[in-house]
Amino acid sequence: MAIKSKLITSLLLGFSTLALLIHTSNAGGIAVYWGQASNEETLIKTCESGRYKYVIIAFLNKFGNGQTPELNLASHCNPAGGGCQVASNGIKACQKKGIKVLLSIGGGIGKYTLTSTADAKKVADYLWNNFLGGKSNSRPLGDAVLDGIDFDIELGNTQHYDDLAKALKAHSTKVLLSAAPQCPFPDRFVGEALKAVTFDYVWIQFYNNAPCQYNADTGSVKNLLDSWAEWNRKLKAKKIFMGLPAAKKAAGSGYIPPSVLKEKVLPIIKKSPKYGGIMLWNKFYDLQNKYSHAILKSV
């Protein structure tokens, strides 16, 4: 009986330790932006790699203020005349693997703005009918139904993105919403939207922002982790991701060597209940640098 008692005690201790590890360290996934380089592989190959849980198609970079919205996928395809509808098969293939596929609106280059609540609703209706669960004769990416919309707003007016988020969720609560704010809190473009609606995924750009990114000169992660902690305290999103450049050339600053990320950063940020994983900009640079391959088992 004593031996059995010790065995039971050992088993209970083992289960308790496992439960503690699960509670204090959350498994995450890798999100990647795709669409801004023709030599970054197709959507199908991107998802067949097994390294990504989320693929963000970038960008719809013209919309609002009465403009006819336009898609820009670099040299992957020409959206004029339905030339990008071939992407539909790739989207469906990714989704069959359980990978969420979203369309990113905005970006660092483009012509977009929202001028009013009514304007935001018109854009939401367009996105719903042309990329999500609605119907249109001119769906730029074909008949595939995307999982959601990503807000990568970096230009134009800072207002009415909260109205856009609300209008998209009004079409269907199943529409996933994500955002890519800059790491200084709060983000001036999507800060109000993030307050108004609980976004499903927020991949914060911890790069090109010296006050809240990794310091390559000193090797310090303090500012990075302090900013991460602030976002976790103040943001009500379901999942928060650390957005990083996939190679040194992918951003002006903020690149973190995979070894530093695995040793000094991931063990800390994975303790957050809101931790969702790592976002990488972008697929082209990840293909060149194999960043996702280096961190996959640690994320």
Q: Where are the alpha helices (DSSP H) in 172-249?
A: 191-196, 222-234
What are the structural domains of the chain? 26-295 (3.20.20.80)
pLDDT value of position 10 = 44
End-to-end alpha-carbon separation of the chain, Å?
43
Cis upstream peptide for 186 (omega within 30°): yes
| Phi and psi at residue 70, to the nearest 5° | -135, 140
Stated pTM of the model = 0.91
pLDDT by 10s per residue, the chain, length 299: 444 444 444 444 444 434 444 445 678 999 999 999 989 999 999 999 999 999 999 999 999 999 999 999 998 999 888 899 989 999 999 999 999 999 999 999 999 999 999 999 999 999 999 999 999 999 999 999 999 999 999 999 999 999 999 999 999 999 999 999 999 999 999 999 999 999 999 999 999 999 999 999 999 999 999 999 999 999 999 999 999 999 999 999 999 999 999 999 999 999 999 999 999 999 999 999 999 999 999 99
Task: Answer yes or no: are the C-beta atoms of 195 and 233 closer than 8 Å.
Answer: no
**Active-site residue set:** 154
Tokens of 15: 């289960």
DSSP H helices, 82-160, are 87-96, 117-131
Distance CA 199, CA 218 (A): 34
pLDDT tens figures, 34-61: 999 989 999 999 999 999 999 999 999 9
- For residue 25, the model assigns a pLDDT of 61
| Pair 45, 93: CB distance under 8 Å | no
**Which one, of 43, 79, 42, lies nearest residue 61 by Cα?**
79
Q: What is the pLDDT of residue 202?
A: 98
**Exposure on the CB side of residue 28, measured as CA atoms within 13 A:** 31
Report how far residue 98's alpha carbon sits from residue 112's, in angstroms, rounded to the nearest whole number.
31
